[in-house]
Structure 1
Amino acid sequence: MKTGLFILIAGIFCVLLNDSLLFLQIRRYFKRKICSYLFWLHSLFFVACIVWYHLFIPTLKGPEAYFWVEKCISIILLFYTPKTLYIIVNAFSILLRKAKCIPAARIVNRLALGIALASFIVILNGITWYRYNYKIERETVCIKTLPDAFNDFRIVQLTDLHLGSYGEHYPGITKLVDEVNRLNPDLIVFTGDMVNSFASEMTPWIETLKKLKAKYGKYATTGNHDYGTYVKWPSKTDQENNLKQFFKNMKRADFTMLNNTNVPLVIAKDTLYLAGVENWGLPPFPCFGKLAQALEGTDGYPVILLSHDPSHWRHEVLNYPVDLMLAGHTHAMQLGITIGSFRWSPAVYVYPEYNGLYTANGQQLYVSRGVGYLGFAGRIGQRPEITLIKLTNNCK
Structure 2
Amino acid sequence: MGAFRIIASSFILVLFMYVCHQLVRFTDMDWWSKLALVLGLAFLFTLVIGTFLFFWKEKKLDHHWWRDLLLDTSLTVMAYINFLVTFVILRDIYAFIEYLVLPIPIVKLYSTEATGILMLMPVILLFMGNVVVRVGPRLVKVPVRFPQLPKELEDLRIMHITDLHISQSLPAKFVKKLVTKINSLKPDVVVFTGDIMDSFVEKHTEELEYLKELKAKYGVYLVPGNHEYYWDGQKALQAFRDVDFKVLVNQVADISLGEAVLQIAGIPDPAALHFQQEGPDFPRVQSQLQESSFKIMLSHQPSLAYQIRDIGVNLQLSGHTHGGQFFPWNWLIVFFERYSKGLYHIGNMRLYVNQGTGYWGPRLRLGTYCELAEIVLRKG
SS of match in other structure, 1:379: coil
1:143-154 alignment, distance < 5 Å: 143-154=146-157
Q: Distance in 2 between matches of 1:113 and 1:40?
A: 13
Among candidates 355, 361, 373, match of residue 369 of structure 1: 355
Segments of 5+ residues of structure 2 without an aligned counterpart are none
Q: Distance in 2 between matches of 1:330 and 1:119?
A: 23
CA contact (8 A) 1:335 1:346 kept: no
Change (3 A) 1:355 1:62: farther
Among candidates 168, 175, 178, match of residue 177 of structure 2: 175
SS of match in other structure, 2:253: strand
Q: Distance in 1 between matches of 2:348 and 2:53?
A: 54
Q: Distance in 1 between matches of 2:280 and 2:103?
A: 65
Supply the AA of the counterpart residue of 1:258.
L
Bigger shift: residues 83-92 or 53-62:
83-92
Q: Which residue number corresponds to residue 346 of structure 1?
A: 332
TM-score where L is the length of structure 1: 0.76
Deviation at 1:335, TM superposition (A): 3.2
Q: Deviations over 1:109-129 (max 9, x none)?
A: 677765654443223432x23
Bigger shift: residues 140-149 or 299-308:
140-149
Among candidates 311, 314, 334, match of residue 303 of structure 2: 311
Bigger shift: residues 317-326 or 198-207:
198-207
TM-score where L is the length of structure 2: 0.79
Q: Distance in 2 between matches of 1:54 and 1:280?
A: 24
Change (3 A) 1:83 1:320: closer
Change (3 A) 1:68 1:385: farther
Q: Percent identity at matched positions?
A: 24
CA contact (8 A) 2:272 2:279 kept: no
CA contact (8 A) 1:279 1:287 kept: no
Supply the AA of the counterpart residue of 1:250.
F
Q: Deviations over 1:312-368 (max 9, x none)?
A: 111x12212211111112222323589xxxxx6322222211211111222111111
Q: Which residue number corresponds to residue 55 of structure 2?
A: 57
Q: Distance in 2 between matches of 1:216 and 1:80?
A: 43
Q: Distance in 2 between matches of 1:269 and 1:51?
A: 58
Supply the AA of the counterpart residue of 2:146.
I
Q: Which residue number corresponds to residue 333 of structure 1?
A: 324
1:186-225 alignment, distance < 5 Å: 186-196=188-198, 198-200=200-202, 202-225=204-227
CA contact (8 A) 2:341 2:355 kept: yes
Change (3 A) 1:306 1:50: closer
Q: Which residue number corresponds to residue 245 of structure 1?
A: 235
Among candidates 122, 125, 128, match of residue 125 of structure 1: 128
Q: Deviations over 1:152-194 (max 9, x none)?
A: 1111000112212525x45322222222223221110011122
CA contact (8 A) 1:261 1:277 kept: yes
Q: Distance in 1 between matches of 2:375 and 2:202?
A: 31
CA contact (8 A) 2:225 2:268 kept: yes
Segments of 5+ residues of structure 1 without an aligned counterpart are 232-241, 339-343
Q: Distance in 2 between matches of 1:40 and 1:260?
A: 52
Among candidates 280, 291, 306, match of residue 299 of structure 1: 291
Change (3 A) 1:267 1:8: closer
Q: Distance in 1 between matches of 2:224 and 2:368?
A: 23
Higher CA-based Rg: 1
Change (3 A) 1:143 1:280: farther
Q: Distance in 2 between matches of 1:51 and 1:161?
A: 24
Q: Does 1:389 find its partner at 2:375?
A: yes
Q: Which residue number corresponds to residue 226 of structure 1?
A: 228
Q: Distance in 1 between matches of 2:103 and 2:331?
A: 40
Bigger shift: residues 382-391 or 197-206:
197-206
CA contact (8 A) 1:82 1:116 kept: yes
Supply the AA of the counterpart residue of 1:351.
E
